Amino acid sequence: MSTGLEGTVTPAPTSPSRWATPPRRCWARTSVPWFQCAPSDCLDNPTADPVPSGEMAENSPIEWTDATWNPVTGCTKVSPGCKHCYAERLATRLQRMANPRYTNGFSVTLHRDQLELPLRWKSPRRIFVNSMSDLFHELVPDRFIQDVFQTMGQAPWHVFQVLTKRSRRLFELCGELSWSPNIWQGVSVESKDYLWRIEDLAKTPAAVKFLSLEPLLGPIDRLPLEGIDWVIVGGESGPGHRPIETRWVRDIVLQCSAAAVPFFFKQWGGRTAKSGGRMLDNREWNGMPRVGLTQHGLATPDGTQEAY
C-alpha cells in the first residue's frame, strides 16, 4: 500500500559528516531552562558518543526505555496531546544548534542511513523507535516502515518500543509488516476521546501491546484493557503544561489491577519532566510487560514483575 505522498517527504542531509562547531555557551541551558538534555544531544559534552558520525543513537532519559532510534524525524500534530509536543521543541532547538539531522526542523525527514543502526548495538537494549516522530505518519512511505520492521526482526536481542497516535494507519498496514516477538507496539491516548486508537491496536498481531496515557488530559474510566500488556501514565511537562489529577491516575491503577495489566507511572509533570517526581501513594510504579523481556536477553529490571 502506498500513501501516494512519498514525493513530498523532505530528504535527509546526504552526508552529515560533522556537527557544527560547539557553541561557547549552551543555547538550551541558557535560553530554555526547562529542557532536559540527553547526553548525546549536547555539543558541549566531549563524551557524547555519536557526535562525530551524526548518528542518532542516544541514551534516553525516558524511564521506560534504554535508548532511542530515530530513522524518521519530524511530525505534524493530530490531537490535543500534541499541543506541547516535546519532539517539536527539541527539533527546533537542535536546528538552531545546527545539528545536521535537523536542518529541516520538525518537517518529516527520512534518515535511510539510520535504518540499520540497531544492528550495530551489540548489547541488548529497550529501544524507543522514533521518539522524534511518528513512524506511521502519512508522509512516511509504506516501504520505509516495512524496512524499519525488517531491522527490528533482524535484532532479536533488542526490544523495540513503537508508539503511535496514527493507529488507523497502523491497523491498515499491519498485515504488510513483519511482526517479530521483540516488537512492542503501543498507541498514545490522552483522553477518552481517543479510545478508538486502542481498538485499532488490538487488531494488530503485535506480541506485546501497550498504552501510553501521556499527557493524560482527563479521566478515563473505561479503559479497554483486554489484550493489553502494559499501561504507562504520565503528566505533561514544559511551558503551558496541563495538570494531571491524582484521582485520574488512581482510577487507572485500579483498572489495571483488576485486569492484571502492569502499570508504569512515569511522572507527574510540571515545569520539567522531573518537577513533580513519579511517586504515587508513597511508591514508584514500575510495572513492565510480563512477556518479551527475558526471552530476548534483556535482564528483567528490579521490581518490574511485581503483582498488584
- If the CB atoms of residues 41 and 134 are measured against ligand SF4, the closer one turns out to be 134
Give the contact letters, 126-155, x = binds to ligand SF4 (CB under 6 A), - = no. -------xx---------------------
Cis peptide before 215 (omega within 30 of 0): yes
By beta-carbon proximity to ligand SF4, the closer residue of 40 and 133 is 133
- The answer to whether 256 and 233 are in contact (CB under 8 A) is no
Residue 115 has a CB neighbour count (10 Å cut-off) of 16
* Closer of 151 and 167 to ligand SF4 (Cβ): 167
Nearest to 163 by CA among 124, 134, 200: 134
* Shortest spacing between CB 88 and ligand SF4, in angstroms: 6
Could you tell me the smallest distance in angstroms from the CB atom of residue 175 to ligand SF4?
23
**Plot region of 239 (φ>0 → left; ψ -120 to 50 → alpha; else → beta):** beta
With CB under 6 A as the rule, give the number of residues binding ligand SF4.
Answer: 10
For the segment 191-250, give every residue that binds ligand SF4 (CB under 6 A). Answer: none
Q: Please say whether the dihedral angle defined by the alpha carbons of residues 166, 168, 172 and 175, taken in this order, is positive or negative.
A: positive
165 binds ligand SF4 (CB under 6 A): yes
H helices of 118-222, where? 142-154, 167-173, 196-202
Residues in 61-90 at the binding interface with ligand SF4, rule: CB under 6 A: 75, 77-78, 82, 85, 87-88
Residues that bind ligand SF4 (CB under 6 A): 75, 77-78, 82, 85, 87-88, 133-134, 165
